[in-house]
Chains A and B, each alone.
Chain A
Amino acid sequence: MSEAVQRWRIVFARNEEARYLAHLDAVTQWERAFRRGAIPVATTGGFNARPKLVFAAPLQLGMLAEHELADLFLAERLTAPALRERLTAGMPAGYRVIDLHDVWIGAPALAPQLVAADYRMTLLGVEREDLASAATRILSAERLPRERRRETKTVAYDLRPLIIELRVRDADAGTLAADGAPAEAAELWMRLRHSQERGSGRADEVVAALADELGMTTASETPGATETPSATETPGVDRPRIESAVSVRERLWLEEELTQHGERDQAPSSPEQTAG
């Protein structure tokens, strides 16, 4: 075990090239990046010593990200420019360091401080108006009962309290210039609760709920997510599909940040009004 003397909060983004890394694969790749960059990472004690690296929230396979957080503990002090240089030298393609903050080593753990996450998804096969009305209906619902599959068990839960805000906008035309893609498209923006204590919402679950609302089904871009059956799915019925072409986690919010922004638990506005 090597003692940690410094704690860096890494703000990073992940683009197309790293989108198919599952969380555990990403951890492995980062550890290799530290070795390539000769970064003096502190290690955990015990027989299976691991580099002390803590991601705020695992990023789902297939999801891009613009503002992720991870805490890295070093066994030797480095300046921010030196750390940035060494990280850049070894980082796998698709990861970019946005910012580095020298955090007090005794500060509370990262993950419990999370309160919310913002997502943006480009959805194919659905008209913007339809999606917006479905979003309004969902937001005005009291409860949104859904099922989540955990290994062999299916757990029932209420998705509604996990949704803070939904907005529907026009899809960015640039993403859609490919052959064979359906002409109807829309962009869905959502702020979901992300809390170790009070539960977290999954973006693909929200899309599945919207699809249900419209009598459609989802073909999620994240294969893991397609295994989650939508609550009302009837096997064998070929319903029109909503496909997500791009899904991005725009930002993770820590409690203090969201309070500063004054947006915490803000009452959801009508999706159409805030569109665009």
Chain B
Amino acid sequence: MTTALSRQRSPARTEAGPFNAPLPVPALTIRRLLSRVRKPGRYSGGEWNSVRKDWSETALKWCFTYPDLYEIGMSNLGLRILYEVLNERPNCLAERCFAPDVDLQAELRSAKVPLWSLETRRSLHDFDVLGLSLGYELVATNVLDMLDLAGIGLTTGERSEADPLVIAGGSIVLNPEPFADLTDAVVLGEGEDVVLEISEVLQSLGWHRRVCGRDGQSRRGVDRATTLRALARIPGVYVPSLYEPRYEADGTFAALDRLDEAAPPSVAGRIAADFETRVRGIRQIVPNIGIVFDRAQLEVMRGCTRGCRFCQAGMQSRPLRERAPEVAVAAAEAILRATGYEEVGLTSLSTADYTFVQEVASALHRRNPEVVISLPSTRVDAFTVELVDAIAPGGRRSGFTFAPEAGSQRLRDTINKGVSDEEIVRCAELAFSRGWSAVKLYFMIGLPGETAEDVLAIAGICRRVLEIGRRRHGGRAQVKANVSTFVPKPNTPFQWDGQDATDEIETKVSQLRKAFHGKGLVLSWHDPRSSLLEAALGRGDRRLTPVIVRAWRNGARLDAWDEHFKFDAWIQAFDEEGLDPAWYAQRDIPTGEHLPWEHLGAGVSGDFLLRDRRLALAGRTTADCHWGPCSNCGAPAVTGFDCDTGDQGPRRMLISGGGGTVGDEGGTGPSSRRWRYLGPPGDARRSDVAAAASIGAAAYCAGDNVNLDRAPRRGRSHDMLGTQMQSKDAGTNGLASPVEAAGGENSG
């Protein structure tokens, strides 16, 4: 099927029956409003591969509600995937809506026009389900804005039967408690399968609107309460209103009581079946205006085995699953064809760790010499530099990004980012020698166990790197250090550790600034006050929902954007509720204390988190289980996935999916799949294994010891990692986090 055809395909008739589709917002009204705002292309839709279905012929209407600006939301791969998954179903439709910028917000309010969906320009209120994407704590007030602009009840208690269900998902919902009263249901883990299960339940109950009887009015066939109880029975779906928290006299969390027998005592996150062999999200929407990640995206791997102890995405996305190389190459090419993009990002939490990264990148490069390939990597090693060098276009090169995260090796061992100073220096030397004249280094301050020396060590390592750059590039050499504040995240070994007080962070930053003078050294840092809020909301409980509502009423919105961030509005809101953000963010929580999110899990087990924390305190690292040994993180028990890792050998990886599997309903039978022990790329032990293995991608690849074609390349140069991405949480996939963004991404 060609893309052009699929965009116009009309859904099969369903049992939806006669239905008075609500009217769209009139075109002239929209034109007049958009004539007064910046970047009207954010709100006008009509993009290539966007899908507009007939409302009278489609039963269940979803609208993906992304609580950040278009440029951020459209970069999210999770959205691109779920949009396709739902729109492929004849009895569902999915549209999109992003947070309006302040200018349009004001225009909508004064003209009393509801916030509309991009596809058919109907009010969000007219949909059956809003799929709310929560990727970052500071989008909280944008959620309220969007609901309010569509006239939807802000909290679950205020919603009428006519209001849509608000179902949240995304990387921060492992602790959805601060948002509990805003969300009717929460999907934990990966959404591909669950959204379809939810749709089926909603349709069989009759949640969608239909014309009833004599009066000709359309209404829902079932009430909200019944619907929510039914949703609570779907694995991976958490319905907050079926539980009620209790607190101790000292304000700490005591327990969560179940209010209904439909509510399970605990909910575990889902992982998508068939990730390795089946690719969804091929017909990705191509925006008409520039966005943060304006390129085709193929997720080559899900999960991460590095085990960085501060990283929520890494911990909750296990087990590691990788796409067979032939599947990855075919899918990347299919996405490029369907979109016309000139660039493809091979995404994951750390793509240099993808077993077949060389094979896939070199095959794509050879077969599509005009296409730019980019990839994120959290590895700080020579392999990453060689890899990026091989796929990057020659000539101009913007900064090469590494994320050592901490200044001293001692502290890097504590956070399980086991890389030595020498390795960092060697990496930088290699990058400088391959033509990069600037190196960007990402660090965190305020990490557990950090001393004053650790902070100053950041400046020390940057100076060493700059000296090396000078030798090769003279005065042109540059080292840019980006320093963010450590934020303790639920479901990580550091979830119990308090964040540094804001003034401590400020002192550390000013010490660093003193140590960072001189030509070629650039230091940038984040507002520690937004990190404080991020930590408070991240580790919060249900008492924070009223705080969010108050902050919004006090004028807080688009808090992730420096120019809009109103810290005072938040402090006032905490005050008015008699709460203290520092108590939530900066307190060291005793490990015996109950946690507001302990009934929810994904990825690793709670037991592993405790064990790993003890190792951190002892300054010991945990091995990367890509090669074994397994550290018994508990992911198989939580997710039902079998890791198959030997005591010393590598994990067994799918090396051939059997062909014909891209976005194809049928997929391949398990019988045609082939598995091998292979291990991660760039490891000395790999060559023996790889030589022994005849990789399924042979048809695409020159050989197992890949020598990437270094023919001169043409193409535009791209600065992959704008600083906006760091603080604005431009999640690249369903499990993105600002930490992942800090890992950086490299290309030409």
**Once the chains are docked, how many angstroms separate the CA of A90 from the CA of B336?**
13
A63-107 contacts to B (CB < 8 Å):
88-90, 92-94
A29 lies within 8 A of B288 (CB) = yes
Set of chain A residues within 8 Å of B290, measured between Cβ atoms? 25, 28
The contact of A90 among B37, B40, B340, B341, by CB within 8 Å, is B340
Assuming the A-B contacts A25-B290, A92-B288, A243-B35, are A18 and B29 also in contact, with contact meaning beta carbons closer than 8 angstroms in the complex?
A: no
B1-53 contacts to A (CB < 8 Å):
2-4, 26-29, 31-32, 34-41, 44-48, 50
A61 lies within 8 A of B29 (CB) = no
Assuming the A-B contacts A25-B41, A223-B37, are A92 and B47 also in contact, with contact meaning beta carbons closer than 8 angstroms in the complex?
A: yes
A29 lies within 8 A of B286 (CB) = yes
Assuming the A-B contacts A31-B342, A223-B37, are A93 and B2 also in contact, with contact meaning beta carbons closer than 8 angstroms in the complex?
A: no
B395 at the interface (CB under 8 A from A): yes
Chain B CB within 10 Å, residue with most, of A31, A61, A177, A223: A223
Set of chain A residues within 8 Å of B47, measured between Cβ atoms? 92-93
**Once the chains are docked, how many angstroms separate the CA of A21 from the CA of B338?**
21
The contact of B27 among A25, A61, A88, A178, by CB within 8 Å, is A178
A32 lies within 8 A of B340 (CB) = yes
Set of chain A residues within 8 Å of B337, measured between Cβ atoms? 36
Q: A10-26, CB under 8 A of B: which get 1 and which 0?
A: 00000011111110010
A178 lies within 8 A of B28 (CB) = yes
Set of chain B residues within 8 Å of A93, measured between Cβ atoms? 46-48, 50
B35 lies within 8 A of A219 (CB) = yes
A195 at the interface (CB under 8 A from B): no
Set of chain B residues within 8 Å of A243, measured between Cβ atoms? 32, 35
B716 at the interface (CB under 8 A from A): yes
The contact of B714 among A29, A49, A221, by CB within 8 Å, is A49
B289-331 contacts to A (CB < 8 Å):
289-290
B252 at the interface (CB under 8 A from A): no
B28 lies within 8 A of A35 (CB) = no
The contact of A179 among B29, B336, B342, by CB within 8 Å, is B29
What is the distance, in angstroms, from A179's C-beta to the closest C-beta of chain B?
A: 7
B105 at the interface (CB under 8 A from A): no
Assuming the A-B contacts A29-B286, A179-B26, are A94 and B46 also in contact, with contact meaning beta carbons closer than 8 angstroms in the complex?
A: yes
Set of chain A residues within 8 Å of B38, measured between Cβ atoms? 223
A180 lies within 8 A of B340 (CB) = no
Set of chain B residues within 8 Å of A221, measured between Cβ atoms? 31-32, 34-35
A231 at the interface (CB under 8 A from B): no
**Once the chains are docked, how many angstroms separate the CA of A20 from the CA of B288?**
8
Interface residues on B, range: 35 or more
Assuming the A-B contacts A29-B286, A49-B714, A62-B40, are A245 and B341 also in contact, with contact meaning beta carbons closer than 8 angstroms in the complex?
A: no
A219 lies within 8 A of B36 (CB) = yes
What is the distance, in angstroms, from A48's C-beta to the closest C-beta of chain B?
A: 6
Set of chain A residues within 8 Å of B45, measured between Cβ atoms? 17
Assuming the A-B contacts A17-B46, A29-B286, are A48 and B716 also in contact, with contact meaning beta carbons closer than 8 angstroms in the complex?
A: yes
The closest CB in chain B to the CB of A44 belongs to: B714
Set of chain A residues within 8 Å of B288, measured between Cβ atoms? 18, 20-21, 25, 29, 92
The closest CB in chain A to the CB of B43 belongs to: A20
**Once the chains are docked, how many angstroms separate the CA of A276 from the CA of B576?**
64
B329-387 contacts to A (CB < 8 Å):
336-342
Q: A164-205, CB under 8 A of B: which get 1 and which 0?
A: 000000000001111111000000000000000000000000
Set of chain B residues within 8 Å of A29, measured between Cβ atoms? 48, 286, 288
B286 lies within 8 A of A223 (CB) = no
The closest CB in chain A to the CB of B35 belongs to: A221
A60 at the interface (CB under 8 A from B): no
**Once the chains are docked, how many angstroms separate the CA of A177 from the CA of B34?**
18
B699 at the interface (CB under 8 A from A): no
**Once the chains are docked, how many angstroms separate the CA of A214 from the CA of B537?**
55
Set of chain B residues within 8 Å of A28, measured between Cβ atoms? 290
**Once the chains are docked, how many angstroms separate the CA of A21 from the CA of B37?**
14
B249 at the interface (CB under 8 A from A): no
A100-130 contacts to B (CB < 8 Å):
none
The closest CB in chain B to the CB of A124 belongs to: B32
A89 lies within 8 A of B340 (CB) = no
A220 at the interface (CB under 8 A from B): yes
Chain A CB within 10 Å, residue with most, of B28, B37, B396: B28
**Once the chains are docked, how many angstroms separate the CA of A19 from the CA of B31?**
10
Chain A CB within 10 Å, residue with most, of B39, B714, B716: B714
A18 lies within 8 A of B46 (CB) = yes
The closest CB in chain A to the CB of B336 belongs to: A35
The closest CB in chain B to the CB of A90 belongs to: B340
The contact of A92 among B44, B48, B395, by CB within 8 Å, is B48
Assuming the A-B contacts A29-B288, A32-B339, A92-B288, are A20 and B32 also in contact, with contact meaning beta carbons closer than 8 angstroms in the complex?
A: no
Assuming the A-B contacts A32-B339, A48-B714, A223-B36, are A176 and B28 also in contact, with contact meaning beta carbons closer than 8 angstroms in the complex?
A: yes
**Once the chains are docked, how many angstroms separate the CA of A180 from the CA of B26?**
11
Assuming the A-B contacts A36-B3, A89-B2, are A61 and B339 also in contact, with contact meaning beta carbons closer than 8 angstroms in the complex?
A: no
B111 at the interface (CB under 8 A from A): yes
The contact of B341 among A32, A177, A244, by CB within 8 Å, is A32
Set of chain B residues within 8 Å of A17, measured between Cβ atoms? 44-46
Set of chain A residues within 8 Å of B4, measured between Cβ atoms? 88-90
**Once the chains are docked, how many angstroms separate the CA of A22 from the CA of B34?**
14
Set of chain A residues within 8 Å of B339, measured between Cβ atoms? 32, 36
The closest CB in chain A to the CB of B394 belongs to: A47
A230 at the interface (CB under 8 A from B): no
B45-81 contacts to A (CB < 8 Å):
45-48, 50
**Once the chains are docked, how many angstroms separate the CA of A37 from the CA of B644?**
44
**Once the chains are docked, how many angstroms separate the CA of A98 from the CA of B20?**
37
What is the distance, in angstroms, from B551's C-beta to the closest C-beta of chain A?
A: 30
The contact of A34 among B46, B340, B395, B716, by CB within 8 Å, is B340
**Once the chains are docked, how many angstroms separate the CA of A22 from the CA of B50?**
19
Set of chain A residues within 8 Å of B286, measured between Cβ atoms? 29, 32, 92
Chain B CB within 10 Å, residue with most, of A34, A88, A92: A92
Set of chain A residues within 8 Å of B715, measured between Cβ atoms? 48-49
Set of chain B residues within 8 Å of A176, measured between Cβ atoms? 28
Set of chain A residues within 8 Å of B36, measured between Cβ atoms? 219, 223, 226
The closest CB in chain A to the CB of B48 belongs to: A92
The contact of A178 among B29, B338, B340, B342, by CB within 8 Å, is B29
A104-162 contacts to B (CB < 8 Å):
none
Set of chain A residues within 8 Å of B340, measured between Cβ atoms? 31-36, 90
What is the distance, in angstroms, from B213's C-beta to the closest C-beta of chain A?
A: 31
The closest CB in chain A to the CB of B396 belongs to: A47
B342 lies within 8 A of A32 (CB) = yes
**Once the chains are docked, how many angstroms separate the CA of A61 from the CA of B44?**
12
What is the distance, in angstroms, from B471's C-beta to the closest C-beta of chain A?
A: 27
Chain B CB within 10 Å, residue with most, of A34, A36, A245: A36
The contact of B40 among A31, A43, A223, A244, by CB within 8 Å, is A223
Set of chain B residues within 8 Å of A246, measured between Cβ atoms? 31
A245 lies within 8 A of B395 (CB) = no
A16 lies within 8 A of B27 (CB) = yes
B29 lies within 8 A of A223 (CB) = no
**Once the chains are docked, how many angstroms separate the CA of A17 from the CA of B50?**
12
Set of chain B residues within 8 Å of A90, measured between Cβ atoms? 4, 340
**Once the chains are docked, how many angstroms separate the CA of A18 from the CA of B46?**
7
A175 lies within 8 A of B28 (CB) = yes
A222 at the interface (CB under 8 A from B): yes
**Once the chains are docked, how many angstroms separate the CA of A219 from the CA of B714?**
43
Set of chain B residues within 8 Å of A181, measured between Cβ atoms? 28, 32
**Once the chains are docked, how many angstroms separate the CA of A151 from the CA of B481?**
32
The closest CB in chain A to the CB of B337 belongs to: A36
**Once the chains are docked, how many angstroms separate the CA of A22 from the CA of B38?**
12
| A-B interface, 5 closest residue pairs, ranked by CB to CB distance from nearest | A32-B340, A221-B35, A178-B28, A17-B46, A36-B340
Sample of 17 A–B contacts (CB below 8 Å): A20-B40, A22-B289, A31-B340, A32-B339, A61-B41, A62-B35, A89-B3, A178-B26, A180-B29, A180-B111, A181-B28, A181-B32, A219-B36, A221-B35, A223-B38, A223-B39, A243-B35
Given contacts A25-B41, A33-B48, A36-B3, 10 further A-B contacts (CB under 8 A): A21-B288, A29-B288, A36-B338, A47-B396, A48-B714, A89-B3, A93-B46, A93-B50, A178-B29, A219-B35
